[in-house]
Chain A
Amino acid sequence: MAGVAVDTGSGERLLLEHVGCPICGRTDGEPIGVGEDFEYRTAPDTFLAMRCRDCTVLYLDPRPAPDEMGRIYPDEYHAFDFTESEFGVIHKVRSRLEARRLLKCIGDVPPDARVIDVGCGDGFHLDLLRRYGRSTWSLEGVDLDPRAAAAARRRGLTVHEGTVEALGLPEAAYDVAFMIQTIEHVADPATVLRAVSRLLKPGGRLIVVTDNTGSPDFRVFRRRHWGGYHFPRHFSLFNDRSIRKLAGRTGLEVVGVETIVSPVNWVYSIRNLLDDYGAPEGLVSHFTLSSPAALSVFTVFDTAFTMAGKGALIRAELRRPA
């Protein structure tokens, strides 16, 4: 999937590259959403979310070239530092909920289990496993971004800085791997899944959590403002069908796929819409990760959809064949 540079990168424009479907490589996708970096305004460009006519996966095409990562992930990017001091009560509530989910996923693993979180960001999830899980587990994280890795290390976590494909981590060594809201960010999801699969012991499990394009929030906002687009940082976006297809392509078995509750895409879709149409900052700021009211309302809202199998996030449990 070598990209072709389509911009000289001068001035403020992003250097872009063309790509095809991340699963099958087809290049004649159907344009679904067209929008901008509403959240961070890192670039003046407009981005296009294409849907593969076979795989139904959504992908950004063209997308920022690898050289632009430092720019599209600015220093204030939330995944680098979701700290308690910054986010207060929301941090507490989210921590409890996430911890319960993680432990449920991890299930029955041996006391000496080795667990890896690929795309660990500031180490939020690893920290929860450390606090609420067994103290005998060995926990490690991987993140490409030095700022994220540094934030996680400040929490006293073990973090490998680089890409999982290139780090040379021990193969067939891990019991469980997590990719929590990571797969949508990576340039080549199939290569990453294969690499993670190699790290797993035979029968070891990979839990993938990502935005769900089979959800009502996607349907309502897909033309432009959907929070899950996170233009231009989400390169591939999945639904039940496409995540299964990707797993199949990479030799992983699908144990199960389900949807889970998240208010975030609802809240950010509304935020993006308000921001796009020039709503006053005072109103826009009520629809972010630091607005308890909006997050609570949409948690209730999305719970109803999740019960109908259409939650805002999708969670796939995959397994390296024994």
Chain B
Amino acid sequence: MSTNDDLPVAVLGAGIAGLVAALELQRNGYPVRVFEAAPVIAGLGGTHHDDDGFTYDMGAHFITNRLAAAIGVSGECRLVHRYGETVHLDGRYVDYPNGLLKQPRFVASALKARVSTPEGDPTTAAGRFRRDYGTALADTVALPLVEAWSGAPADELAASVADKIPTSIAHTMLLNALARATNRAISVGYCWAQPMTASVFHVYPEHGVATLCERIAEQLPGVIQVSSPVQAVIVHDGQVQAVRVHDEEIPVRAVVSTAPINVLPRLVEGSDRLDRYRRFRYRPMVLVNLKLRGRNLLSDVVVWLPTGFPFFRLTEATQSMPWLAPEDKTMVLCDIGAEVGDEHWTMDDDALGEYCVDHLEGIIPGVRERYLGCRVVRTPIAYPVYLAEYEEDRLALKESTGIDGLLSVGRHGEFSHNLMEDVYWTTIDRVHRWIADQKAGELLAIEAEERAAAVGDDEANPVVASGTRDMPRA
């Protein structure tokens, strides 16, 4: 049976999910090889430091003390004292969620939605938000944001888009009050795989988010190959056999992929089971990070902009992590939902900076005088788009890819809105589901052998004849 037991497990991608999977497999005695297409590790979890003393991470990351402790980087993290979100509506800031609840029109429509009895569960995001929040709040705030962020009409999005909103208003308010009392940014809604409690709060690595991947990679010496895109995953009879890298076929025991789920079918040779995932869409984004003079230019760390701006969200990370920019300077990240090749995607970097500054004047007075330059990142896979038309396939993916020995993990691989800590725990969970299957298989093989041995006829039984193979460790 154990012909492929010594073969490595191939991990596609050296971002946080791939590295966590590789380390977990290694800890359990499985040889691993990590193939990273880029010349550096970390993927979306990378950090860039510029000559002016700014530290940029790719997008926004939420790291808790629990995640930092699990990875062993807590000693390099600093406490985040504050985190908050505001909605910018009709030219002014409204607190989220308390401020919204103070507006009579929203309360009235939310109450109306509560008392009316809807027939069945809504199947689209539009229906779900209108039912949960009432029409006024949904149509004014939630749906425009969801549409800007996903690039799809809310009545084509699955209702599950709304799944990850804080547990209950009471719980959220309690944790927020505790956060103020303890001067810690208690994590509310940034990890769903583990309990949300007052003892789990935001921290952030002193030198940027890349610290996490670096720490894990240190424990995988000789395992990670950069600049090595996997060209193909070779499948036979519904079972992974090998990967092709640099035109060489490498036999493997299993494959853990972190590739976007709509890319993976193009890599798989010998099975069409993943073809249904080709139609899955990710929302591309243009992320424009403006360097500005001054501090605390926004009302809160995150400001949501449902209408009236080309960007739907602004983030001033220095309000939470003051050490990421020189003392008298700050960064404001503008998230522009885009399509590959559209006018924002193709605009050159300096022009994008100017364009954002022009639009920010109404929110940050005097922004032009503060403007020092920008850094632009374009990503074709910022967010998975949960379209209602493929919701069923998305849910099936949570169970398995349908190919033996092929796991798809991480934010892109699971096609989920998971944040960093969720990626960590769900990846470990998936790897262990696979390990449990392997062990069950070994047990079955041993039992079969024992039964055969009990029959006592060596010649007639090929399993016993090959019985000198290494016994799996108990």
Contact = CB atoms under 8 A, between A and B. Distances in A.
Chief secondary structure at chain A's binding surface: loop
Contacts of A223: 195, 197-200
A284 B203 CA distance: 26
Interface residues of B, number: 32
Contact of B199 (A6, A28, A34, A62): A34
Interface in A22-43: 27-28, 30-31, 33-35, 43
**Looking at B195, B199, B218, B429, which has the most chain A CB atoms within 10 Å of its CB?**
B199
A11 B75 CA distance: 10
A46 B74 contact: yes
Contacts of A12: 75
B429 A28 contact: yes
A109 B77 CA distance: 55
Interface of B: 23-24, 27-28, 65-66, 68-72, 74-77, 181-182, 194-195, 197-200, 203, 215, 218-219, 425, 428-429, 431-432
Interface in A122-163: none
Is chain B's binding surface mostly helix, strand, loop or mixed?
A: helix
A234 to B, nearest CB: 15
Given A13-B76, A62-B70, 20 more contacts: A4-B27, A4-B219, A6-B218, A6-B219, A16-B72, A27-B27, A30-B194, A34-B65, A34-B199, A44-B75, A45-B74, A48-B66, A48-B70, A62-B72, A223-B197, A223-B198, A223-B199, A223-B200, A224-B199, A277-B182
A18 interface: yes
A47 interface: yes
A6 B75 contact: no
A302 to B, nearest CB: 23
B75 A13 contact: yes
A20 B71 CA distance: 14
Contacts of A43: 75
A115 interface: no
B75 A31 contact: no
Interface residues of A, number: 30
A270 B198 CA distance: 16
A46 to B, nearest CB: 4
A156 B471 CA distance: 52
A62 B218 CA distance: 15
Contacts of A224: 197-199
Contacts of A61: 70
Interface of A: 4-7, 11-14, 16, 18, 20, 27-28, 30-31, 33-35, 43-48, 61-62, 223-225, 277
A224 B184 CA distance: 14
B185 to A, nearest CB: 15
Contact of A27 (B28, B194, B219): B28
Given A18-B27, A34-B199, A277-B182, A6 B66 contact: no
A7 B27 contact: no
A6 B28 contact: no
10 smallest CB-CB distances across A and B, nearest first, come from: A13-B75, A224-B199, A46-B74, A6-B72, A48-B69, A46-B69, A28-B432, A223-B199, A45-B75, A62-B72
Given A12-B75, A277-B182, A31 B70 contact: yes
28 contacts: A6-B71, A6-B215, A6-B218, A6-B219, A7-B72, A7-B75, A12-B75, A14-B75, A18-B72, A20-B27, A27-B24, A27-B27, A27-B428, A28-B428, A28-B431, A28-B432, A30-B194, A34-B199, A44-B74, A44-B75, A45-B69, A45-B75, A48-B70, A223-B197, A223-B198, A223-B199, A223-B200, A277-B182
